[in-house]
Structures are given as structure tokens and as C-alpha cells.
Structure 1
Amino acid sequence: MMSEIDISNFAYEKFGGDSKICVAVLDGPVDQSHPCFDGANLTQLPTLVSSVADRGSASQHGTHVASVIFGQHDSPVRGIAPNCRGLIVPVFSDGRDGLAPCSQIDLARAITQAVEQGANVINISGGQLAASAESDRLLANAVRLCRENNVLIVAAAGNDGCDCLHLPAALESVLAVGAMDAQGNPIGFSNWGEAYQNQGILALGENILGAIPGAKTATKTGTSFATPIVSGIVALLLSIQLQREEKPDPHAIRDAILQSALSCNQLKGLDSRRCLVGTLNISGAYTLITKGEIKQMTNEKSGGVMIQSSEADNAIAQLQPSEVIEFDLKQEISQSSPIGVQAAEINQLTTMLMKETPMMITASNQANSSVAPSECASCSGSKQIQLVYALGELGYDFGTQARQDSFTQAIPAGINLLDYLEQNPWEAQSLIWTLNLDATPIYAIVPSGPYANVTYERLRSFLGDENIERVSIPGYIAGSVKLLSGQTVPAIIPEVRGMYGWSVAALIENLTQAYPAGPSEEDYSNKIREYLERIYYEFRNLGVTPQERALNFSATNAFQIADVMSTGTAADIGLDTITVEKSPICRPDSNCYDVKLQFFNLEDSRRAGKVYRFTVDVSDAIPVSIGRVRSWSVAS
């Protein structure tokens, strides 16, 4: 048993979090050469944004936010969770008038990347004012991916000073953070949209001390800087769970933070909605976590509020459609003085944890298989090839105005681009081929290797066939490509043998010919169409995670789906849910996932439904089905 002195020393070393807990910061580039990060365990992930930190707005914002969490305790900026592992994921860059916007698709891409690399908490100190609570399906699915993998997104509520919606802070399961002053009152610019009344917390957001590039410090004000305080507290509470030999549960901590919130000090005549659920109560959340008194939050509402930055010298520019996440350059107060109010709260937190943490310390150095960061290849410094199996529509781009003009001048009058490529097939490599979702490019397709000409031929044939609605592109992500619009997208080096093109109507016709038995042809066709449409729209994704690649492959391996539909469904059976789970049985050196289809009885809910499961091995660029389709009955 540890002596009292040993426990005190151990608590001091452990204060600041456990290295097995990983916090991802999705923000501007971070100046990791700043003295406050000397000794911090930070890994920078490659993104579509330059990772080089300079003196610009994005680097200042990203460096400040990261330092609030990871600033070492012997440095000018004492971060809240300096011992935790950090992922730096740049998503914001400098624009013409401050910070350049980030699309919802790119934000979804970064969230997915952080989940894949073992994050327990994702801090997003930026966002977009939205006209409604609806986000792009890819962003919604990325947030759902976090929920399914027990990863918590902590996002700023925004700085518009209104009852308004921001994304992604108001999306269900996200913890939204508003800003309060040192007296516990909500700051005037902090948003109070409806969704925040159920999932928003106020934290100190005034004169927050942090690092800025060039080995300097500054204090800043806004919801952007209240957010990392909450992310850091979540990381500490996760570390406490780990030390207690419990499975870290970020969403349980979210519930504890919301349930333990205190009423804010309301100024006379202040709208109570501005207080959101209440103010951050660290000791109250700690008590709920350690005593196991957390109640499951069942009345969450999905809002439409989104985070934004607290940088404010300029008025908000005209907002773009909901596909764009951008910083609100309103309400940031930046001062050169290193003195901030943050120190008082951190000192109180230090005192509380130093007193109480030793009482729950066990063998905290033991491995815990439930902690994702311990399995994070990127966090340990090694690199992995990123596989992708994506579905979408094929398109093309010229890249530059000069390239577009050269094609315009080269193509004879009366000849379209496809005819020109047919006559001059070598010109296909001068185009940038893209994979699109709803006319928005998500990847550039870059054929490579000795058979690149075969791949270009396949792309030309897909584009020229008016019956092809969708294509599958398997391969590897390697670098990025800038399009004519200025958008930058990841580049896929495709595997030509897994590239397919099809239309839903033609696919159903072929399948009905192959599987004529079973329900009526019309009902059978409708069931196949429903399955494919749900994959394309409800579950549309970037094809990066193993689950996404297995799901996408199930849509291209439609004959297996047709087998399920023909042998397992009757006219009174409807498709209920589609899920993807890690397969308990797999071949050596493989990575297997089960795609599960659950059906229910349309006419009598008391009758048993049916579940069908088939396994997909996604260890290679081109997935493959293994084993046979399994089925069993389930109670409704």
C-alpha cells in the first residue's frame, strides 16, 4: 500500500491528466515551438490545411486554444490537462479578412480523422451561424460516429449575442460552451440558442491567458477560449475514471457536467436563457463521477447552433450557406498582458484534485484495453496508410483558369469534352478527376503507376456512360489537390480493379433476373432500392473508417444484398435498421466488420422480426465478403 507521502507525490505527478487520455484540437495551426509546449505530448495530423504556424490569425487562435489545455505547469501558461496526449488537427487557415472558412465536409473529415486516431475528446473552438438545425449529412454522421465510439465533442456556442443557431455545437450529443465573466454572469456576446438550454454550459471566457506564436502570451475573451477550459476539465475527469480502474466515459462526464451545473449570477432584468443549463461546477461533476450518481440524459434536443471564434475586431461578414464553418470575428479582446482570470479557477481546481485524487488512486500504470489512445498508431509516432473506399458521382475539374482556357482553345467547335477525350485519350490525365457528393467534390482521383492509362480509360468510360449514376473508388489517400474553385480535397490513388459504375435501375434489373424467387418483383425491387438509397443518402460518408468501407462495399456487392432480400423477406416485412459492428470472428491479419440488416413486421408489431448479418474484410484497399449470410429471429 502507498504511504501518505507516496500518494501525495503521485497525485502531483498525475495532476494534469493521464497520458492515455487523448484530446484533439481542431483549430488553426499550433506553434509547438512555444515554451509552454516544451514536454507536451502532441502529435500533429496531416490535413488539407497547412500545418505551418506563423503570426497570422489562425495560428494565434490555434496556439492559444491548445495552450489552455496542454500548457506545461513549469511554463508561462499553465494548461488544464498538460499530461494528456494531444492531437493537433488544423482546420482553419488565414483568409483575406482574418480566418478562412472551413466547410462542414472538411470539418466532418477532421472529426473522423480524430476519432480514427484515438481521441477521447474533440475541442472545436469555431463554427458557423446557421439558419436551421440541419447540418450537412456528412457532419451529422461524423458527430454520430463520435457518439458510437464514445468520443465527446466540446464546441463553442458562438459570439453573436443572440438566440440563434450554430453548428456543430447544437448537434445532439455535443457539449456546447458559452462564456461567462469572472462574476459568473453570461457575457453579452455569448449565444443562447434553444438547444443550449439542454446541452450548453457556461465557463469562464473572459481574459483567458494563453500562448501566441513567437514565445509570447496574451489574454483573450470569447466562447472560443471558454471551450478548451471545459475540454481540459473533461480530460481530467476521464483521467480520474482511468485511475479508478473504470472505463473512461466522456458522455457520462458530459451528463455529470450538465447535471451539476450551478445557476449563474443573473444581472437585473437578464434573460435567464442566457445562462444555458448553468455554470461549470467542477467539484459537483467530480462528485457525480466518483459516486456514480449520474443520470442518463434522455431529454436532449437536437439544435442547430454552431460554434464560432471569439476573435472580434470586425463585424460579421455576410454568412455563407450551411456548408461553411467559419470564425465569427466579433467579440475577441486580445491584450498583451499575461495576467488573466484563468489562474484563479485553475488554482482552485488544483487544490480540489490534490486533496481528493489520492483517495482514489490505484494501479494507474496498468494497461487498459478500453482506452482508445493506447491503440493509436498516429499518437505513438508511427504512420499508417489511409485506406479509402468511397461512393459518389464522378466529375472533373480543371484546377486552374489557364488549364481551363487551354482545353477551351483546343476543343474544336461543335465537339464536347467527352468526344474530345474519346479522340484524344491522353488528354484525360490533364484533367483533375473528382468524386462528388451532391455536386460537391470530396476527393480528387489521381491514377498512378504503370497502369494509370487503364484507370484513365475506366474514368472516361464512366463519365461517358449516361446510365452510370454512381461509382466506387477504392484506394489510398496520398496528398491533396487544389481545385479551380480554390477548394482543396484529398487525393485518392485508386485501385482500378475495384472501380465500378452503376445506376440503381440497371442494378435492380440485373438482380431481379438473378434472383426471381421470393416476394413479388415490385416489392423485391423496392426493398433493394430502399437499401441502396439509405446507404447513398442516410449513411453517406467519406469511406475512410473501417465501418464506412464495409457499409459502402455492401452497396457495391449488391448480389449479396439481393440474396438477403430474396430469401429472407416477405411482402409484410420491412427494413428497420442497418448497423456495422466489429466482427467477433475474423481471419488472421484481417480486419472484419459485420453489416447487420434488421427487418420488422409491417402488419403485426408483435410478430418476430428477422436479422441478417454478413461479414466484410476491410484490411485491403478492396474489401471482400467472407463466410455466408447468417440470420435469426428477434422479438419486436
Structure 2
Amino acid sequence: MEILGLSELRNRTQGSPEITIAVMDGPVDRTHPCFQGANLTTLPTLVPHAARSDGSMSGHGTHVTSIIFGQPDSDIPGIAPQCRGLIVPVFPDDRCSASQLDLARGIEQAANAGAHIINLSGGQLSDFGEAEGWLENAVRLCQERNILLVAAAGNDGCQCLHVPAALPAVLAVGAMDARGQPLDFSNWGSKYQTQGILAPGEQILGAKPGGGTERLNGTSFATPIVSGVAALLLSLQVERGETPDPARVRQILLQSALPCDAALPADAQRCLAGRINIAGALTLLTGGNMSEAQEAVTPAGVEPSSGCGCGGGLSVPDATPAQEEPQAAVTPSNTVQSFTPTQSTPMTSSNAVTPSQAPSELASSQLVYALGTLGYDFGSEARRDTFKQLMPPFEISEGVSVPANPYDARQMVDYLASDISEARSLIWTLNIELTPVYAIEPKGPFAREAYLALQELLAGQIQPEHDDDYIERVSIPGILTGRTVKLFSGQVVPVIEPQSTRGLYGWKVNSLVNAAFETVQAAEGEADRDAMSRTLGSFLNRVYYDLRNLGTTSQDRALNFSVTNAFQAASTFSQAVAQGMELDSITVEKSPFCRMDSDCWDVKLKFFDPENSRRAKKIFRFTIDVSDLIPVTLGEVKSWSSPY
């Protein structure tokens, strides 16, 4: 399909190597002839990166990637062949879906690797465009770093929403035919009317794993067209000596969008904010004025229906090219918390934004400072049975014992206390709300001490909640290794390596309240213990539940460290607590003041008076340097009042 205006744009640029596009999709066959000469890098993820010729997600990922990066002299001339590409596999061939947690990992990884644009040809149906905290945080990170996330609107053929396409600051993409009319399967949910555009999505030429080409339908293949055009516009900014501005390019693409054919009013509500208008976008970018025929349109105001009345998104191409209908048997979109690439069935064939690191052996490492609870896993039945046979019988009363149960954490704690070397045979996990997010594997000369610390922390977690030794949360600092392990459930998680026992903390909210109460009393002379408990408990739980994160970005490491540093937190808001104020919000911003070769962030705590809304809010700020494995606080705590 010829894309209007693309030839003119490509005559001016075929992309700049300074612009990076990340493709989050299935594995990509980088040996395909169309990629010869392309600047592509595959990032290690939880998904095997080797493409399979018979893999549905390998086919999907290879097709999408070729639309952007196919080289000019190949059978598939891509839209932005000279840009730099990051391949981020998130959809495995054996599952054809990914969790929102895995998707958040991929977005953060692409952001840390310097992506200007992230292409995601997939999504999950959502009633009101809501997403889990993992994904919301990752999308917010893109907005803060000015990274454009381009996501498929979905192929359910209904007035409904997919995430992340429906999340703020994302550019949603629907599919249209050669006449510029929306295709029947393309979604048109309410939020897409202000943040979505249509692009060609019918019989789009792309690469097949193992060689050859094919033409496929779907919003999955309209999405990389928009990503490629956005990359060319950013490349023009670079060539004009300007700083590439993805947010401005997003605005230009939406502002320049054209209405659908007014002669077909039935399709007007499906037009989103309009059809992609490359010529108009180019004119706006270069400072010109669009002609009357190119004037931007206001979004189509379509009222949302009570329900979309449709199934999940279409996920993978069926083995029969001639088939037009979605194959429910291979569409796992009804699975809770899963993502599926959004495509229709195939047609007949025819400047890096990274944290500054202190110069050390950790300079090239991905640091992690994560919060959660400890768990352990066996990985296989054989390993579980080994523990069952080696562990002594469990005595339930005097003279009465039962066979060992390796799943009983109390028995495991006692067994490891007598033989800590066995701790190496377990897969230790860090869990957030019962979801394993990391495997913990201490390495180096202090590995034994780290395993002893893990055993002690686990022993604290199994104590009664009123016990002084009870541990509610743990913090785990370490290095993200790039390796993964498969748990007994089949879930794959990344491995982090603690380098020593430094930073391996365990705490209970009540214990921190007591410590903070003493600090407040020392600073202010008197304080309300109940108010102190509410404020500190709100602070800790806000981070753990509402702001839960993976602890890989500089912002998240600063935020998580602020939780574990209880005395710093207590001294920070002791004045507010003494005045009866309560926590309103927590924000993390890049600090304008920092030491050389460091990475500093300001954690701001805002407090309000629940009994007097007219009273000025109190804001406290302390600075955290996260350039080393264990973050540290810098300088004095700053405070001021604000009416907002």
C-alpha cells in the first residue's frame, strides 16, 4: 500500500542513527536479508531472543520490525532504515502473550537503553483504559523522559480500549484501508478520539522468519508505520540542529490528522482523531502553515457505549493465509493480566537517557534496589523432593513427628539454620503482592553472609505480627545480571545478585513508628503517636502498594531507599507530624544539585492538615544519590510552605 506523503519525507531523510526506536514484540529473525546493514541491537529479556521459523510471535515481531528497519535495497524497504533499533522481545512463541509486569520491564529497559520511540503492537482489553501500577509507572517514566510510546488500538472491532494505548501520553494507532477508511476490526474507544490516529493497516508488506515476505492486516502493522514516520520527523529535527522532541512530534501528528471521508458518516466515529497526514506533519514541523485542505480536525466526539460486546484482541497469524476471521483457539486474550499482540489474520503472500554512574566496577551494571517480601522456589519436582528427603521429620508435639514439608517456611528456616550451604540450592525470590519479580542469587566473596541474611529475614517473616522480631518488608540491592530462571510454576524471572549484606534490610511498620516517634520527640518535644503511626504507615504503604515498582530506574531506587531510611524520613516530616498534618503526596524529581559523576534525585513529601483545608501545605525535600549500589542521602533537608 502506498502511504501518502511518505516519499516526500523519505526524500529528505531516511532516518538518523541518533534516533533510537525500540520494538517491543516477539523474537526477530535478524538474519533475514532485509535487515542486512540495519543498526539493530537485541536487549536481553525474559523471552528467548532466537526467532523460530514456525513461531507465531517470531513471525509477528519480524514483520513489525521490518516495516521500520527493512533496508532500502531489500524486498522490504522500511520507513526509517537508518535509525538505530532496539529489539525487546516480550511475546514468547510458546505463550503468545505477556503480563503487564513483563511489559513494564520491557518499557523500562528500552527507556534505560536510550529509546526515543517505543513501538508496541499489542495490548490488553480494559473496561475504562485502566492498567496495573507496573504499567502506569512505566508509561509515566516515558512521559517524564520525553519518550514516545506508540501502541496499537486493538482489533476487536468495537468501541473499546486497550492498554497501554489508552493511557495518557501514549499515541494510539488504528488501522485504515487504501481509501483512508477505518477497517472494520479497528477499535475506536473514547480515549482514542483525542490521542489516536489511523494509519494503513491492510495488506502491509513485511518479512517472514527464515526468509520471504507476506502481507498482513491489523493495527499491529499500522503501529510501526506511525513509529517510523515519527522517527523520520525526529531525524529531521536532528539534521536541522534541533534537539529531538518526541512529545512535540506526537502533538504534530495529532494536530495534522485529517478527517475521514464525510460521505461515509457511519465510519466517522471510527476515525479517532483523524488519518495520518505526513505532508501536514512535515509542514508543521518545519514551521509552515497547512493548507485549508490539511487543517487539523477536532477529535470525533463519540460517546462510549455501555460495553464493547466483543472478545479479546487478535493475537497471532493463523497457519492458513486465506483465512480472514480471528482464531479463538490461539488467542489467550481472555486470560487475566495477559497481553496479546494486536493483529488481524494474514493475507495471501505477495541520545541515550541513562543514569550517570560513579566510575567503578559497577559503571556498566544495571543496579537494582527493590522492595518486597522474600520467598523461595524449587524450580522442579526433583529439587523439591531432594529437600523433602534431606530435611528431618517435623515434630508437631513431644514424641510425635511427621515427614518434612519443604513448603513450610518454618521447617525450611530451621533446616537452613543447621546447614546454610543448602540455601544455594533454593531459588530465592523477591515478591511484590505474591508475585515473584526477581530471583535472588548472591555471588562473590560475601555470598555465604548474604545467604545467612536471607535466612534470617525469612525467619523474621514467619513470626507472628505482634512479635518484636516480625519482618514485614525487605529491601534487596543488587546487580541485574541479564540471566533468568524458570520457577516451578513456569514463570520466568530475572536474576539479581546482591554483592554483600549491605542494604539487605527487613522492617515492620510498627517498629519504624516507634523509632520515628523517638526521633520526632527529640526534635519537636512532643508528638501524637497515633498521628505518627498514620503518617509513617501511609508513607511506607504508599510506596509499597500505590507506587510499587521494580527498583531499576534511578527514580525508583531513590524512592525505595527513602522508605528504608526510616530515621531520615522521620526527621524530614517531624515538624509536619507535630503540627497534626498528614501525608498528601510523594514525588521524585531529578535534582539540579549533585556531585560530579553522581546521579541525584529529590524526594519531595507534601503534607496537609486534614482538619483545615485552607492551611498551607508543607513540603519537605531531601536529596538521594543513587550512583552506587547502596544509595545515600546528601545535604540538609529543605522545607517550605505552599498553598497548593
* 1:35-82 Cα deviation digits (max 9, x unpaired): 222222222111111111231222221111111111121222111111
* 1:516-547 Cα deviation digits (max 9, x unpaired): 23542222222212211211122111000111
Shift of 1:389: 0.4
Shift of 1:568: 4.4
How far apart, CA to CA, are the structure 1 residues paired with 2:314 and 2:634? 46
Shift of 1:12: 7.3
Shift of 1:253: 2.0
Higher mean displacement: 433-442 or 79-88: 79-88
From 395, 412, 432, the equivalent of 1:437 is 432
State whether structure 2 residue 373 is matched by structure 1 residue 393.
yes
SS of equivalent to 1:333? coil
State whether structure 2 residue 545 is matched by structure 1 residue 553.
no
- Number of aligned residues: 584
Give the equivalent residue in structure 1 for 2:477: 474
Higher mean displacement: 568-577 or 176-185: 568-577
Identity %: 53
CA contact (8 A) 1:218 1:334 kept: yes
Amino acid at match of 2:485: V
State whether structure 2 residue 554 is matched by structure 1 residue 584.
no
State whether structure 2 residue 129 is matched by structure 1 residue 129.
no
Give the equivalent residue in structure 1 for 2:97: 101
* 1:256-281 Cα deviation digits (max 9, x unpaired): 22222222237857353222222111
How far apart, CA to CA, are the structure 2 residues paired with 1:410 and 1:267? 77
Shift of 1:515: 2.6
Alignment of 1:520-559 (within 5 A): 520-559=528-567
SS of equivalent to 1:555? helix
How far apart, CA to CA, are the structure 2 residues paired with 1:445 and 1:145? 25
Alignment of 1:213-292 (within 5 A): 213-265=209-261, 270-291=266-287
* 1:600-625 Cα deviation digits (max 9, x unpaired): 45555555433322111111111111
State whether structure 2 residue 317 is matched by structure 1 residue 311.
yes
Give the equivalent residue in structure 2 for 1:487: 491
How far apart, CA to CA, are the structure 1 residues paired with 2:190 and 2:519? 52
Alignment of 1:363-374 (within 5 A): 371-372=351-352
Give the equivalent residue in structure 2 for 1:26: 24
Amino acid at match of 1:213: P
Structure 1 residues 408 and 14: alpha-carbon distance in aligned structure 2, compared to 1, 3 A threshold = farther
How far apart, CA to CA, are the structure 2 residues paired with 1:266 and 1:63? 36
CA contact (8 A) 1:421 1:427 kept: yes
Structure 1 residues 402 and 14: alpha-carbon distance in aligned structure 2, compared to 1, 3 A threshold = farther
CA contact (8 A) 1:185 1:266 kept: no
From 438, 441, 444, the equivalent of 1:446 is 441
Structure 1 residues 81 and 136: alpha-carbon distance in aligned structure 2, compared to 1, 3 A threshold = same
Structure 1 residues 42 and 383: alpha-carbon distance in aligned structure 2, compared to 1, 3 A threshold = farther
How far apart, CA to CA, are the structure 1 residues paired with 2:100 and 2:129? 13
Give the equivalent residue in structure 1 for 2:452: 457
From 391, 395, 406, the equivalent of 2:386 is 406
Give the equivalent residue in structure 2 for 1:325: 339
Higher mean displacement: 147-156 or 459-468: 459-468
Structure 1 residues 374 and 109: alpha-carbon distance in aligned structure 2, compared to 1, 3 A threshold = closer
Structure 1 residues 314 and 160: alpha-carbon distance in aligned structure 2, compared to 1, 3 A threshold = same
How far apart, CA to CA, are the structure 2 residues paired with 1:108 and 1:513? 39
Q: Which runs of 5+ in 1 are unaligned?
A: 1-9, 338-370
Give the equivalent residue in structure 1 for 2:502: 497
Give the equivalent residue in structure 2 for 1:345: none
State whether structure 2 residue 515 is matched by structure 1 residue 513.
no
Higher mean displacement: 511-520 or 74-83: 511-520
* 1:107-161 Cα deviation digits (max 9, x unpaired): 1001001111111110001222335533221111001111111111101111222
Amino acid at match of 1:120: H
CA contact (8 A) 2:56 2:316 kept: no
CA contact (8 A) 2:193 2:301 kept: no
Structure 1 residues 160 and 248: alpha-carbon distance in aligned structure 2, compared to 1, 3 A threshold = same
Amino acid at match of 1:153: L
Amino acid at match of 2:86: L
How far apart, CA to CA, are the structure 2 residues paired with 1:247 and 1:327? 32
CA contact (8 A) 1:217 1:336 kept: yes
How far apart, CA to CA, are the structure 1 residues paired with 2:565 and 2:34? 52
How far apart, CA to CA, are the structure 1 residues paired with 2:192 and 2:316? 18
Structure 1 residues 528 and 568: alpha-carbon distance in aligned structure 2, compared to 1, 3 A threshold = same
State whether structure 2 residue 150 is matched by structure 1 residue 154.
yes
Give the equivalent residue in structure 1 for 2:407: none
Higher mean displacement: 414-423 or 56-65: 414-423
Give the equivalent residue in structure 2 for 1:359: none
State whether structure 2 residue 580 is matched by structure 1 residue 567.
no
CA contact (8 A) 1:31 1:213 kept: yes
How far apart, CA to CA, are the structure 1 residues paired with 2:574 and 2:363? 44
Shift of 1:308: 5.8
Structure 1 residues 374 and 548: alpha-carbon distance in aligned structure 2, compared to 1, 3 A threshold = closer
CA contact (8 A) 1:120 1:150 kept: yes
From 606, 613, 628, the equivalent of 1:620 is 628
CA contact (8 A) 1:21 1:373 kept: no
Q: Which runs of 5+ in 2 are unaligned?
A: 1-7, 290-294, 319-325, 394-401, 405-410, 464-469
Shift of 1:13: 8.0
Structure 1 residues 277 and 390: alpha-carbon distance in aligned structure 2, compared to 1, 3 A threshold = same
Normalised TM-score (structure 2): 0.84
Instruction: Give the RMSD, CA atoms, in angstroms.
Output: 3.0
Give the equivalent residue in structure 2 for 1:630: 638
